[in-house]
Amino acid sequence: MVGYLRNILVELVNNPSEDIIKAIDDNIDEEVLQVGMSFENVDELKQFYKKYIIKCGFGVRIRSSSKEEDNELCFIKLVCSRKEKCHSAIPSELKSLQTQRKQCPARISGVKKEGQWYIRNVNNVYNHDLSLKKSRLIRGDKIVTMQVKRTLDMTDEAGVRINKSFQSLVCETGGFENVSFVERDVKNYIGKQRRRLCKDGDAQALITHFSNMQQLNHDFYYDIDLDSDDRISNVFWVDARSRATCEEFGDVISFDTTYLTNKYDMPFAPFVGVNHHGQSILLGCGLLSSEDTSIFVWLFQSWRRCMSNKSPEGIVTDQCKAMQNAIEIVFSNTRHRWCL
């Protein structure tokens, strides 16, 4: 805490702005980060440190972690996003933009004891300049409020271009410095909304088709994931033949996502196995709104639940970090390999 306030005072001398004064006022009554602080779970610990370090103008990331024998997280180390130097084969004199990373020592480490999380080590020393004005644009500090989302939905429905929608939000708030997100976040949100199955009655037609298939064969399985507005965002289904085949040939599967040409641009995610004739067989498939870790976790859990909670012995995927994270969560005992 002392190092943090010292850095703020240095910038206050060089740049006496209202933002710096406000940052000092916000820290007068704030709880001091120190060894021994306890939290209910690891998410509370991460959120507390993220809120603490973002006030310095930089983000936070996980440097390392470890799990117990039951695959439960027991240790985590959080560091400043500018920790460690970037190593590049390009000589520094040939770079048009120098690396912004430094060997920042700021970090904390947390450990789990008797169901509680405790801060074990703290280092509040920073070796880089502060950028409090830009802290609102850090990934962990960006906020797209519900009111903004409603406005974007209406403007997109009216055919307004994305850049014009963003400019109107900037004008409404009084300038770029009052907006807690960038135009890329607006594009990502609108693109994700467009991929949801909620137009022209397609969602109802899909549910009706799945219900009819399940009436014809009770072994037909489907699962639908809804968003906060009760709209379909992800779909998973398996027919009776694939479920029966998986019992014999589901020990090793291949999983990949392929974009199909449709008005939603939703990734198609098939689970593929190999039978005793060396032929590829379909063991399940889904349509996803995006390729995030949380969505892959939902899809893998749906597939495993459909297959009587039986995990495959091996799974082959491409080098997708989100898939890798989801496999570690859902298929913790499955051997994961990358395809060629």
> Per DSSP, which regions of 171-231 are E strands?
221-226
Helices 183-194 and 146-157: angle between axes, nearest 10 degrees: 60
State the SS3 of 64-119: EEEECCCCCEEEEEEEECCCCCCCCCCCHHHCCCCCCCCCCCCEEEEEEECCEEEE
Q: What is the pLDDT along the chain (340 residues), one digit of tens a residue?
A: 444 444 545 454 555 555 544 544 444 344 567 888 888 888 888 888 877 777 666 677 777 788 887 778 888 888 877 665 545 556 655 555 555 556 777 788 889 888 889 888 888 777 766 666 666 677 666 778 888 888 888 888 888 888 888 898 889 888 887 888 888 888 888 877 776 655 556 778 888 888 899 998 889 999 998 877 777 888 999 999 999 998 889 899 999 887 655 566 778 899 999 999 989 999 999 988 888 899 999 999 999 999 988 899 999 998 888 899 999 999 989 999 998 7
Closest residue by Cα to residue 234 from 220, 223, 249? 223
Q: Rounded to the nearest 5 degrees, what angle is found at the Cα of 150, between the Cα atoms of 234 and 295?
A: 20
Task: Please tell me the pTM assigned to this model.
Answer: 0.53
Residues facing 316 on adjacent strands = 254, 337
Domain boundaries, the chain: 2-86+95-141, 146-194, 202-338
